[in-house]
Amino acid sequence: MTAAAPTLEFLLMDIVKRLFDEIGIGSGNLNNETPLYGTRNGISSLSLVRLIVDLEEAVEIHLLKTITIADEKVLSMSNSPFKNVGTLHDYLEGLIAN
């Protein structure tokens, strides 16, 4: 019997939790409203790059989809998908669906 593939939500929360733990941001109350980037409480640009790479790899390995998270389209969006965990989740769902 094979194990079920992890969900996108599980992958995202797991990767964000590990990143937050490694860079010293508390991950105890991690939820969809947790700030990621672009706020005083968010992560650095270097940590954002690492988050993007880790997510792209995890999606390819576990969900069998190849996605590019950061491209010209995302850089020109008026509402950043990197604002918080929930906005990133919604953006990733759209990428995976296409």
3-state helix, strand, coil in the chain (%, to 5): 50, 0, 45
Task: Evaluate if residue 86 carries a pLDDT over 80.
Answer: yes
Confidence of residue 57 (pLDDT cuts 50, 70, 90): very high
Domain that includes residue 52, residue range:
8-97
47 occurs within a structural domain: yes
Q: What is the amino acid identity at position 48?
A: L
Nearest residue to 15 (alpha-carbon basis) of 41, 34, 39: 34
Name the pLDDT band for 77 (thresholds 50, 70, 90).
Answer: confident
Residue 90, CA distances (Å) to 2, 25, 84, 85, 87 in order: 28, 23, 10, 9, 5
Mean pLDDT confidence for 30-54: 91
Q: What distance separates the 2 farthest-apart alpha carbons in the chain?
A: 46
Tell whether the model's pLDDT for residue 98 goes beyond 90. Answer: no
Please compute the mean of the pLDDT values over residues 78-93 and round it to a whole number: 94
Domain assignment present for residue 12? The answer is yes
Q: How many domains does the chain have?
A: 1
Q: Is pLDDT of 1 > 60?
A: no
In a domain, 81, yes or no: yes
Residue 2 falls inside a structural domain: no
Does residue 1 lie in a domain region?
no
d(Cα 81, Cα 29) in Å, to the nearest integer? 20
Say if residue 2's pLDDT is above 60: no
Q: Which CATH number goes with the domain that contains 74?
A: 1.10.1200.10
